Chain A
């Protein structure tokens, strides 16, 4: 599975994305605290951590939703600071959002290009290139296996799985260099999970830097090349596939200090639990 990554000799070139002592504060609370990590091209980096550990903030920084406060974000070695998701997208970093970012009342092709619509004509008469947008949408959806779709339908008429495919197809279309996947919170069927994994693996094959944010260590170990563990907004560990197996990951995820603290508290209250 990791042969494609192994086949490439350790490149002397710069990693596609790099965070250097990057911090983000919400008021006095540090959502990310001096996080340093490299996200190389052609590798899948899984970000694991509990709720509130800073995963969502990391996604927000990479996708341009929330500019970082301190430290550096390097894109191919160049420091960047995205002020808008549009800037991140035009730099080739596309995101599959946790809520999929699909507007239910808008048609499928309007959803596909929302925020980055193709236009023609000069300013006062600049208008949407509707035909091109429709065609591109149909083609991109076919690429992720959704056919027989009228791009003029509102997105609310799509099945939940097809809606996720729309979000994935959009990210694959706009993500020329990096793909950030914040694992959807909505429960996925096996077929939908497979689709998401296929898209992620395909993106790696094409040489994109892939960031997969997930709560599920098994899922992460299946595709991940590297694993970034976050706790309280700081890096708790950065491991490669050779370092850990799925059980280790699971233990690292679940066996954090909270779990030990909980166990201690429960044992103190119910001493019989300690014998288990």
Chain B
């Protein structure tokens, strides 16, 4: 090192602690492995299935990525705070079923019905959050329980009330057109039909990213997951933060369900399956979240969703057996877990005094 006079006060250090080159700084970004993975997958499937890179192909990819990404961004925040939520997929289904019943059978106008199902989803989030912070049970198990309860109640309840597995003709309801413009519209750009859900996804990722890095709330999220004792000792509202995050994932679930409802103009009773809940977590982990909490990014989760969507659509467009997708996703998850393990060791390594 060349001596350049005495070190100036407050200057970014270049000495021993600051021996962090571009690579080290890049490795500090949780979203880096997902970004690298995305580039690799896009290159691979771009060669294998050139249709993927056309406007139509891109629209298909973004459509898959948007719905998944909204959930994954919310789940990423929750993972950073050291908690899980597996019930988000079923909140999407149950929320849209409730909206459909209120609009199609009870004759409610569209907006009040959507508000009511949002309130119900938030109630699920509050129940999840309060159970987790008050009992100290693993959120993994608590949300599996709410998942099962909600799945059974929503599906059986819907059929009991509606008398069938489907409600149609929702588009006659008051306010449907304006709601459909907000949640279900699409635009033709360069020959591809892009859904409005893409905008919701980008907005959710941007907002979550800003909140995580630039607000007190974000600091509380990081501290709740990475150092819960320290957070408590410094008066960080860990309980309030956790409950808020469960409300956020429930809201994301409601948004996913509402986007589908307003686009399809009907609702079909389907089994959400635990798989959807796990998909969000897989995508968030691919996006760089540590399962142990305290580290991760919303932008990474959004990129992870894009990676997921490119792989899925790429396999379809390349004419492969779509079941290969699961194997590929598993491989991606494994690579992400190993990369995250390296990150964690790097970050947790305590220098000797």
Contact = CB atoms under 8 A, between A and B. Distances in A.
A237 B325 CA distance: 72
B51 interface: no
Interface stretch (A47-55, A112-120, A213-221): A112-120
A226 interface: no
A105 B17 contact: no
Interface in B223-254: 223, 226-227, 229-237
Interface in A80-115: 84-89, 95, 97, 99-106, 110, 113-115
Interface stretch (B32-40, B132-140, B184-192, B342-350): B342-350
Interface string A148-170: 11100110111111000000000
B10 A103 contact: no
Contact of B219 (A95, A117, A156): A117
B12 A150 contact: yes
Interface stretch (A38-46, A71-79, A127-135): A127-135
- How many of chain B's residues touch chain A, expressed as a range? 35 or more
Nearest to A126: B215
A64 interface: yes
Nearest to A192: B353
A17 interface: no
A4 to B, nearest CB: 29
B292 to A, nearest CB: 10
A104 B347 contact: yes
A117 B235 contact: no
Contacts of B12: 150
A160 B10 contact: no
Contact of B351 (A88, A148, A158): A158
A135 B10 contact: yes
A261 interface: no
A260 interface: no
Interface residues of A, number: 48
Contact of A103 (B17, B28, B294, B349): B294
B222 A110 contact: yes
B222 A156 contact: no
A103 B222 CA distance: 9
Nearest to A89: B235
A207 B9 CA distance: 28
A103 B11 CA distance: 24
A114 B231 contact: yes
A97 to B, nearest CB: 5
B14 to A, nearest CB: 9
B223 A114 contact: yes
Contacts of B294: 103-106
Contacts of A153: 17, 20
A266 B295 CA distance: 53
A100 B233 CA distance: 9
B235 A156 contact: no
B215 A105 contact: no
A87 B227 CA distance: 20
A192 B353 CA distance: 10
A126 B214 CA distance: 9
A3 interface: no
A65 B351 contact: no
Interface in A135-154: 135, 138-139, 142, 147-150, 153-154
Nearest to B351: A159
Contacts of B216: 117, 119, 126, 128
Given A148-B13, A160-B350, A102 B230 contact: yes
Given A101-B229, A106-B219, A119-B216, 14 more contacts: A103-B222, A104-B294, A105-B222, A105-B227, A114-B223, A115-B223, A116-B235, A127-B214, A142-B10, A147-B7, A149-B17, A150-B13, A153-B17, A161-B353
Interface of A: 63-65, 84-89, 95, 97, 99-106, 110, 113-117, 119, 126-128, 130, 135, 138-139, 142, 147-150, 153-154, 156-161, 189, 192
Interface of B: 7, 9-13, 15, 17-18, 20, 28, 210, 214-216, 219-220, 222-223, 226-227, 229-237, 294-295, 347-353
